[in-house]
Protein backbone atom coordinates (compact mmCIF):
# COMPACT_ATOMS: atom_id res chain seq x y z
CA UNK A 1 0.00 0.00 0.00
CA UNK A 2 1.21 3.53 -0.80
CA UNK A 3 1.76 5.85 2.07
CA UNK A 4 -0.13 9.12 2.06
CA UNK A 5 2.04 11.99 1.00
CA UNK A 6 1.27 15.34 2.58
CA UNK A 7 -0.69 17.41 1.97
CA UNK A 8 -3.68 15.07 1.93
CA UNK A 9 -7.26 14.76 3.09
CA UNK A 10 -8.43 11.73 5.04
CA UNK A 11 -12.10 10.74 4.89
CA UNK A 12 -13.31 8.63 7.82
CA UNK A 13 -16.26 6.38 6.96
CA UNK A 14 -17.22 5.75 10.61
CA UNK A 15 -17.67 9.46 11.24
CA UNK A 16 -20.00 9.83 8.22
CA UNK A 17 -22.11 6.93 9.52
CA UNK A 18 -22.35 8.39 13.02
CA UNK A 19 -23.27 11.80 11.64
CA UNK A 20 -26.13 10.40 9.54
CA UNK A 21 -27.36 8.18 12.37
CA UNK A 22 -27.62 11.12 14.74
CA UNK A 23 -29.55 13.22 12.20
CA UNK A 24 -31.88 10.35 11.33
CA UNK A 25 -32.69 9.20 14.85
CA UNK A 26 -33.71 12.73 15.81
CA UNK A 27 -35.64 13.52 12.61
CA UNK A 28 -37.56 10.22 12.75
CA UNK A 29 -38.67 11.03 16.28
CA UNK A 30 -40.20 14.39 15.37
CA UNK A 31 -41.38 13.95 11.76
CA UNK A 32 -41.43 10.31 10.62
CA UNK A 33 -42.41 11.15 7.05
CA UNK A 34 -39.04 12.58 6.00
CA UNK A 35 -36.05 12.37 3.71
CA UNK A 36 -32.48 13.43 4.34
CA UNK A 37 -31.04 14.75 1.10
CA UNK A 38 -27.29 15.36 1.15
CA UNK A 39 -26.13 18.59 -0.48
CA UNK A 40 -23.60 17.11 -2.89
CA UNK A 41 -21.76 20.37 -3.59
CA UNK A 42 -20.57 20.47 0.02
CA UNK A 43 -18.21 17.57 -0.62
CA UNK A 44 -18.57 15.48 -3.78
CA UNK A 45 -15.58 13.17 -3.41
CA UNK A 46 -16.78 9.75 -4.69
CA UNK A 47 -15.79 7.79 -1.56
CA UNK A 48 -17.87 10.25 0.50
CA UNK A 49 -20.86 9.88 -1.82
CA UNK A 50 -20.59 6.07 -1.88
CA UNK A 51 -20.81 5.86 1.91
CA UNK A 52 -23.72 8.29 2.11
CA UNK A 53 -25.70 6.66 -0.70
CA UNK A 54 -25.66 3.33 1.15
CA UNK A 55 -27.42 4.88 4.12
CA UNK A 56 -30.78 5.62 2.50
CA UNK A 57 -29.96 9.28 2.00
CA UNK A 58 -31.08 11.22 -1.07
CA UNK A 59 -28.84 13.44 -3.21
CA UNK A 60 -29.40 17.18 -3.58
CA UNK A 61 -27.71 18.16 -6.83
CA UNK A 62 -27.32 21.43 -8.71
CA UNK A 63 -25.64 20.47 -11.99
CA UNK A 64 -25.41 17.77 -14.65
CA UNK A 65 -22.04 16.68 -13.31
CA UNK A 66 -23.32 16.28 -9.75
CA UNK A 67 -26.43 14.45 -10.95
CA UNK A 68 -24.37 11.94 -12.98
CA UNK A 69 -21.70 11.54 -10.30
CA UNK A 70 -24.31 10.95 -7.57
CA UNK A 71 -25.82 8.11 -9.59
CA UNK A 72 -22.41 6.62 -10.35
CA UNK A 73 -21.85 6.60 -6.59
CA UNK A 74 -25.05 4.72 -5.80
CA UNK A 75 -27.80 7.33 -5.36
CA UNK A 76 -31.01 6.58 -7.22
CA UNK A 77 -32.17 9.11 -9.80
CA UNK A 78 -35.64 9.01 -8.27
CA UNK A 79 -34.24 9.97 -4.89
CA UNK A 80 -32.51 13.04 -6.27
CA UNK A 81 -33.48 16.62 -5.69
CA UNK A 82 -32.57 18.84 -8.60
CA UNK A 83 -31.97 22.37 -7.41
CA UNK A 84 -30.32 25.54 -8.63
CA UNK A 85 -30.93 28.02 -11.43
CA UNK A 86 -28.69 26.43 -14.08
CA UNK A 87 -30.22 23.11 -15.05
CA UNK A 88 -29.36 22.09 -18.62
CA UNK A 89 -32.00 20.62 -20.95
CA UNK A 90 -30.47 17.16 -20.67
CA UNK A 91 -30.42 17.40 -16.87
CA UNK A 92 -34.10 18.41 -16.82
CA UNK A 93 -35.07 15.71 -19.32
CA UNK A 94 -33.37 12.97 -17.36
CA UNK A 95 -34.83 14.26 -14.05
CA UNK A 96 -38.34 14.31 -15.54
CA UNK A 97 -38.00 10.81 -16.97
CA UNK A 98 -36.67 9.33 -13.74
CA UNK A 99 -39.21 11.03 -11.47
CA UNK A 100 -36.60 13.01 -9.53
CA UNK A 101 -37.88 15.98 -7.58
CA UNK A 102 -37.21 19.17 -9.53
CA UNK A 103 -37.31 22.37 -7.52
CA UNK A 104 -37.75 25.12 -10.08
CA UNK A 105 -35.99 28.40 -9.43
CA UNK A 106 -37.96 30.69 -11.75
CA UNK A 107 -41.02 31.05 -13.96
CA UNK A 108 -38.74 30.70 -16.98
CA UNK A 109 -37.69 27.30 -15.75
CA UNK A 110 -41.30 26.11 -15.50
CA UNK A 111 -41.77 27.03 -19.15
CA UNK A 112 -38.67 24.99 -20.04
CA UNK A 113 -39.95 22.03 -18.01
CA UNK A 114 -43.27 22.16 -19.87
CA UNK A 115 -41.48 22.16 -23.21
CA UNK A 116 -39.09 19.37 -22.29
CA UNK A 117 -41.76 17.22 -20.62
CA UNK A 118 -43.78 17.36 -23.85
CA UNK A 119 -46.99 16.16 -22.26
CA UNK A 120 -45.47 13.84 -19.63
CA UNK A 121 -46.97 14.43 -16.18
CA UNK A 122 -44.55 16.27 -13.83
CA UNK A 123 -44.88 17.09 -10.14
CA UNK A 124 -42.75 20.14 -9.42
CA UNK A 125 -41.28 21.68 -6.33
CA UNK A 126 -40.99 25.46 -6.26
CA UNK A 127 -38.09 27.13 -4.53
CA UNK A 128 -39.40 30.29 -2.92
CA UNK A 129 -37.16 33.28 -2.42
CA UNK A 130 -36.56 33.53 1.34
CA UNK A 131 -36.05 37.30 1.62
CA UNK A 132 -39.45 37.79 3.23
CA UNK A 133 -38.96 34.88 5.63
CA UNK A 134 -35.55 35.58 7.18
CA UNK A 135 -34.13 38.78 8.65
CA UNK A 136 -31.57 40.14 6.18
CA UNK A 137 -29.08 40.86 8.98
CA UNK A 138 -28.86 37.11 9.64
CA UNK A 139 -28.53 36.09 5.98
CA UNK A 140 -25.07 34.98 4.92
CA UNK A 141 -25.58 36.77 1.58
CA UNK A 142 -25.99 40.10 3.36
CA UNK A 143 -28.29 43.03 2.72
CA UNK A 144 -28.67 42.41 -1.02
CA UNK A 145 -30.80 39.39 -0.09
CA UNK A 146 -30.88 35.96 -1.67
CA UNK A 147 -30.72 35.58 -5.46
CA UNK A 148 -32.42 32.21 -5.40
CA UNK A 149 -36.01 31.16 -5.80
CA UNK A 150 -39.28 32.60 -7.01
CA UNK A 151 -40.34 35.88 -5.42
CA UNK A 152 -43.83 36.03 -3.99
CA UNK A 153 -43.55 39.76 -3.32
CA UNK A 154 -42.97 40.57 -7.01
CA UNK A 155 -45.93 38.56 -8.25
CA UNK A 156 -43.79 35.82 -9.77
CA UNK A 157 -45.28 33.06 -7.64
CA UNK A 158 -48.79 34.13 -8.74
CA UNK A 159 -47.63 34.04 -12.34
CA UNK A 160 -46.06 30.58 -11.88
CA UNK A 161 -49.18 29.13 -10.26
CA UNK A 162 -51.41 30.55 -13.01
CA UNK A 163 -49.15 29.01 -15.62
CA UNK A 164 -49.30 25.63 -13.88
CA UNK A 165 -53.10 25.86 -13.50
CA UNK A 166 -53.42 26.18 -17.28
CA UNK A 167 -51.47 22.97 -17.86
CA UNK A 168 -53.02 19.72 -16.67
CA UNK A 169 -49.71 17.84 -16.97
CA UNK A 170 -47.92 19.89 -14.32
CA UNK A 171 -48.68 20.27 -10.64
CA UNK A 172 -46.90 21.93 -7.75
CA UNK A 173 -46.37 19.31 -5.09
CA UNK A 174 -43.55 20.83 -3.11
CA UNK A 175 -42.27 24.06 -1.66
CA UNK A 176 -38.56 24.53 -1.09
CA UNK A 177 -37.02 27.17 1.15
CA UNK A 178 -33.33 27.34 1.92
CA UNK A 179 -31.40 30.18 3.46
CA UNK A 180 -27.77 30.24 4.59
CA UNK A 181 -27.83 32.05 7.89
CA UNK A 182 -25.02 33.31 10.08
CA UNK A 183 -26.64 32.36 13.36
CA UNK A 184 -27.97 28.94 12.28
CA UNK A 185 -30.65 29.52 14.91
CA UNK A 186 -33.60 27.21 15.38
CA UNK A 187 -35.88 30.29 15.28
CA UNK A 188 -35.00 30.73 11.59
CA UNK A 189 -36.55 27.34 10.86
CA UNK A 190 -39.71 28.38 12.69
CA UNK A 191 -39.81 31.41 10.36
CA UNK A 192 -39.34 29.25 7.29
CA UNK A 193 -42.25 27.03 8.39
CA UNK A 194 -44.40 30.08 9.09
CA UNK A 195 -43.66 31.47 5.63
CA UNK A 196 -44.31 28.10 3.97
CA UNK A 197 -47.65 27.85 5.77
CA UNK A 198 -48.62 31.41 4.88
CA UNK A 199 -47.95 30.78 1.19
CA UNK A 200 -49.74 27.41 1.07
CA UNK A 201 -52.83 28.85 2.76
CA UNK A 202 -52.86 32.24 1.01
CA UNK A 203 -52.54 30.69 -2.45
CA UNK A 204 -54.63 27.66 -1.47
CA UNK A 205 -52.12 25.22 -2.97
CA UNK A 206 -53.92 21.95 -2.22
CA UNK A 207 -51.47 19.71 -4.07
CA UNK A 208 -48.58 20.29 -1.63
CA UNK A 209 -47.28 17.11 -0.05
CA UNK A 210 -43.58 18.01 0.31
CA UNK A 211 -41.87 20.74 2.28
CA UNK A 212 -38.12 20.94 1.63
CA UNK A 213 -36.65 23.19 4.30
CA UNK A 214 -33.07 23.16 2.98
CA UNK A 215 -29.84 23.09 4.99
CA UNK A 216 -27.74 25.56 6.99
CA UNK A 217 -27.94 23.63 10.24
CA UNK A 218 -25.16 24.09 12.80
CA UNK A 219 -22.09 21.91 12.47
CA UNK A 220 -18.68 21.26 13.88
CA UNK A 221 -16.91 23.20 11.16
CA UNK A 222 -18.34 26.36 12.59
CA UNK A 223 -17.74 25.42 16.18
CA UNK A 224 -14.58 27.48 16.12
CA UNK A 225 -13.43 29.97 18.63
CA UNK A 226 -16.15 30.70 21.07
CA UNK A 227 -18.86 28.97 19.09
CA UNK A 228 -18.20 25.56 20.63
CA UNK A 229 -21.43 24.04 21.89
CA UNK A 230 -23.54 27.05 20.96
CA UNK A 231 -25.39 25.53 18.05
CA UNK A 232 -28.82 24.00 18.62
CA UNK A 233 -28.91 20.20 18.74
CA UNK A 234 -30.73 18.13 16.11
CA UNK A 235 -33.54 17.67 18.62
CA UNK A 236 -33.78 21.47 19.02
CA UNK A 237 -34.03 21.99 15.27
CA UNK A 238 -36.49 19.21 14.52
CA UNK A 239 -38.76 19.76 17.50
CA UNK A 240 -39.00 23.43 16.51
CA UNK A 241 -39.86 22.57 12.90
CA UNK A 242 -42.35 19.85 13.89
CA UNK A 243 -44.12 22.03 16.48
CA UNK A 244 -44.46 24.89 14.04
CA UNK A 245 -45.76 22.62 11.26
CA UNK A 246 -48.32 21.03 13.60
CA UNK A 247 -49.40 24.44 14.90
CA UNK A 248 -50.11 25.44 11.32
CA UNK A 249 -52.25 22.40 10.61
CA UNK A 250 -49.75 20.09 8.87
CA UNK A 251 -49.26 16.44 9.81
CA UNK A 252 -46.54 13.93 9.12
CA UNK A 253 -49.14 11.66 7.52
CA UNK A 254 -49.83 14.11 4.70
CA UNK A 255 -46.59 16.08 4.41
CA UNK A 256 -43.08 14.83 3.74
CA UNK A 257 -40.37 16.96 5.32
CA UNK A 258 -37.09 17.05 3.41
CA UNK A 259 -33.89 18.44 4.87
CA UNK A 260 -30.75 19.15 2.85
CA UNK A 261 -27.82 19.04 5.24
CA UNK A 262 -24.41 19.76 3.75
CA UNK A 263 -21.80 20.94 6.21
CA UNK A 264 -23.69 19.66 9.25
CA UNK A 265 -23.51 16.15 7.81
CA UNK A 266 -19.98 16.01 6.42
CA UNK A 267 -17.68 18.59 8.01
CA UNK A 268 -16.73 16.33 10.89
CA UNK A 269 -15.74 13.38 8.70
CA UNK A 270 -12.66 14.69 6.89
CA UNK A 271 -9.27 15.89 8.18
CA UNK A 272 -6.35 17.52 6.40
CA UNK A 273 -2.69 16.64 6.95
CA UNK A 274 0.32 18.77 6.15
CA UNK A 275 4.00 18.65 7.13
CA UNK A 276 6.06 21.38 8.82
CA UNK A 277 9.07 22.18 6.65
CA UNK A 278 11.14 24.98 8.15
CA UNK A 279 10.96 27.90 10.51
CA UNK A 280 11.92 31.55 10.37
CA UNK A 281 11.47 34.71 12.39
CA UNK A 282 10.02 37.96 11.02
CA UNK A 283 9.77 40.94 13.36
CA UNK A 284 9.83 38.68 16.39
CA UNK A 285 7.15 36.28 15.14
CA UNK A 286 7.90 32.65 14.43
CA UNK A 287 6.58 31.41 11.09
CA UNK A 288 6.42 27.74 10.17
CA UNK A 289 6.50 26.90 6.47
CA UNK A 290 4.17 24.00 5.69
CA UNK A 291 3.77 21.91 2.53
CA UNK A 292 0.01 22.48 2.52
CA UNK A 293 -2.07 25.57 1.94
CA UNK A 294 -4.95 27.53 3.32
CA UNK A 295 -6.60 27.32 -0.11
CA UNK A 296 -7.27 23.63 0.56
CA UNK A 297 -9.12 24.12 3.83
CA UNK A 298 -10.43 27.67 3.59
CA UNK A 299 -10.62 28.42 -0.14
CA UNK A 300 -12.48 31.69 0.36
CA UNK A 301 -10.07 32.91 3.05
CA UNK A 302 -13.05 33.70 5.26
CA UNK A 303 -12.46 31.50 8.26
CA UNK A 304 -11.79 33.60 11.36
CA UNK A 305 -10.08 31.01 13.49
CA UNK A 306 -8.66 27.52 13.44
CA UNK A 307 -8.56 27.39 17.22
CA UNK A 308 -9.09 23.91 18.59
CA UNK A 309 -8.84 22.27 15.19
CA UNK A 310 -5.06 21.87 14.72
CA UNK A 311 -3.19 18.99 16.26
CA UNK A 312 0.57 18.50 16.03
CA UNK A 313 1.76 14.93 15.45
CA UNK A 314 5.42 14.85 16.38
CA UNK A 315 7.89 13.21 14.04
CA UNK A 316 8.98 10.54 16.51
CA UNK A 317 12.24 9.22 14.98
CA UNK A 318 13.97 12.60 15.21
CA UNK A 319 12.34 13.60 18.42
CA UNK A 320 15.55 13.59 20.44
CA UNK A 321 17.24 16.20 18.32
CA UNK A 322 14.24 18.30 17.68
CA UNK A 323 13.92 21.86 18.86
CA UNK A 324 10.40 22.76 19.73
CA UNK A 325 9.13 26.10 18.48
CA UNK A 326 6.08 28.08 19.39
CA UNK A 327 4.80 29.29 16.05
CA UNK A 328 2.44 32.19 15.60
CA UNK A 329 1.78 31.78 11.89
CA UNK A 330 1.73 28.88 9.47
CA UNK A 331 2.92 29.83 6.03
CA UNK A 332 1.17 28.14 3.08
CA UNK A 333 2.89 26.72 0.00
CA UNK A 334 1.21 28.81 -2.70
CA UNK A 335 3.33 31.97 -2.43
CA UNK A 336 0.17 34.07 -2.14
CA UNK A 337 0.74 36.65 0.61
CA UNK A 338 -2.64 35.77 2.03
CA UNK A 339 -1.83 32.09 2.28
CA UNK A 340 -1.19 32.08 6.02
CA UNK A 341 -2.90 30.68 9.06
CA UNK A 342 -2.62 32.66 12.27
CA UNK A 343 -2.48 30.70 15.44
CA UNK A 344 -1.74 33.84 17.47
CA UNK A 345 -2.99 33.83 21.01
CA UNK A 346 -2.48 30.06 21.14
CA UNK A 347 0.92 29.54 19.53
CA UNK A 348 1.38 26.07 18.14
CA UNK A 349 4.24 23.96 19.42
CA UNK A 350 5.80 22.21 16.45
CA UNK A 351 9.05 21.44 14.72
CA UNK A 352 10.19 20.81 11.13
CA UNK A 353 9.23 17.25 10.20
CA UNK A 354 6.11 17.22 12.37
CA UNK A 355 2.73 16.60 10.81
CA UNK A 356 -0.18 18.92 11.46
CA UNK A 357 -3.72 17.63 11.40
CA UNK A 358 -6.56 20.05 10.72
CA UNK A 359 -9.71 18.45 12.03
CA UNK A 360 -13.26 18.63 10.65
CA UNK A 361 -12.57 20.21 7.27
CA UNK A 362 -15.04 18.16 5.22
CA UNK A 363 -17.29 20.98 4.04
CA UNK A 364 -16.66 23.39 1.16
CA UNK A 365 -12.93 22.60 1.10
CA UNK A 366 -11.65 20.09 -1.46
CA UNK A 367 -14.56 20.77 -3.81
CA UNK A 368 -13.73 24.47 -3.94
CA UNK A 369 -9.95 24.09 -4.10
CA UNK A 370 -8.45 24.83 -7.49
CA UNK A 371 -7.65 21.72 -9.52
CA UNK A 372 -4.20 23.02 -10.33
CA UNK A 373 -2.63 26.02 -8.70
CA UNK A 374 1.18 25.95 -8.44
CA UNK A 375 0.92 22.36 -7.22
CA UNK A 376 -1.59 19.60 -8.01
CA UNK A 377 -4.48 19.26 -5.58
CA UNK A 378 -3.89 17.34 -2.35
CA UNK A 379 -4.28 13.57 -2.33
CA UNK A 380 -7.44 12.10 -0.89
CA UNK A 381 -7.37 8.99 1.30
CA UNK A 382 -10.29 6.97 2.55
CA UNK A 383 -10.38 5.07 5.83
CA UNK A 384 -13.05 2.35 5.93
CA UNK A 385 -11.61 0.89 9.17
CA UNK A 386 -8.97 2.20 11.53
CA UNK A 387 -5.57 1.60 9.92
CA UNK A 388 -7.04 0.59 6.53
CA UNK A 389 -6.46 3.45 4.13
CA UNK A 390 -6.92 3.51 0.38
CA UNK A 391 -6.06 6.23 -2.09
CA UNK A 392 -9.09 7.85 -3.74
CA UNK A 393 -8.98 9.28 -7.24
CA UNK A 394 -11.49 11.66 -8.79
CA UNK A 395 -13.17 10.26 -11.95
CA UNK A 396 -11.36 11.43 -15.10
CA UNK A 397 -14.59 12.22 -16.96
CA UNK A 398 -15.39 15.16 -14.67
CA UNK A 399 -12.85 17.47 -16.26
CA UNK A 400 -13.99 16.43 -19.75
CA UNK A 401 -17.71 17.03 -19.41
CA UNK A 402 -18.01 20.07 -21.64
Ligand X SMILES: Cc1ncc(COP(=O)(O)O)c(C=O)c1O
Tell me: does residue 362 bind ligand X (CB under 6 A).
no
Among positions 83, 106, 240, 275, the unique one binding ligand X when judged by CB under 6 A: 83
Tell me the window of 115-123, 188-196, 258-266, 303-311 that interacts with ligand X (CB under 6 A): 258-266
x/- binding map, residues 9-48, to ligand X, per CB under 6 A? ------------------------------x--x------
Minimal distance, residue 232 CB to ligand X, in Å: 13
Residue 61 or 242 with smaller CB distance to ligand X: 61
One-character DSSP codes across 192-240: HHHHHHHHHHHTT-TT--EEE-------GGG--GGGTT-SPPHHHHHHH
Among positions 64, 105, 109, 260, the unique one binding ligand X when judged by CB under 6 A: 260
Tell me: does residue 378 bind ligand X (CB under 6 A).
no
Minimal distance, residue 353 CB to ligand X, in Å: 36
Contact present, 199 and 175 (Cβ < 8 Å) = yes
Tell me: does residue 232 bind ligand X (CB under 6 A).
no
Among left, alpha and beta (phi > 0; psi -120 to 50; other), residue 225 is: left
Tell me: does residue 215 bind ligand X (CB under 6 A).
yes
Minimal distance, residue 107 CB to ligand X, in Å: 19
Beta bridge partners of 161: none
Contacts of 108 (CB under 8 A, 6+ apart): none
**Interaction residues for ligand X, span 159-178 (CB under 6 A):** 178
Tell me: does residue 264 bind ligand X (CB under 6 A).
yes
Contact present, 179 and 130 (Cβ < 8 Å) = yes
Q: Is the peptide bond before 7 cis (omega within 30 degrees of 0)?
A: yes
Residue 71 or 216 with smaller CB distance to ligand X: 216
One-character DSSP codes across 122-154: EEEEEEBP-TTTS-GGGBTT-TT----SB-TTT
- Residue nearest ligand X by beta-carbon distance: 262
Tell me the window of 45-53, 160-168, 212-220, 345-353 that interacts with ligand X (CB under 6 A): 212-220
Q: Which of 377, 128, 161, 380 is nearest to 269 (CA)?
A: 380
Give the residues lining the site for ligand X (CB under 6 A): 39, 42, 60, 83, 178, 180, 214-217, 260-264, 363
Amino acid sequence: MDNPKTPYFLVDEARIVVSIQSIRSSLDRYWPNNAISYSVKTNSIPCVLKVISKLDVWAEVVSDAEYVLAQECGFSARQSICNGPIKSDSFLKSAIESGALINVDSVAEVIRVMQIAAGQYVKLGVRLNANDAIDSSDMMCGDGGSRFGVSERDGELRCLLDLVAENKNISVSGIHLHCNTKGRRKENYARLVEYFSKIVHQYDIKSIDVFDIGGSFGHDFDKQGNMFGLWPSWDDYFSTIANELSKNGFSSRALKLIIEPGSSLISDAMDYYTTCLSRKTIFGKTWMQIDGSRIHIDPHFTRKSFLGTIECIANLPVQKERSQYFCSVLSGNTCLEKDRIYVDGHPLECSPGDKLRFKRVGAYTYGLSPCMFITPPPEIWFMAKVGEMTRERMPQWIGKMH
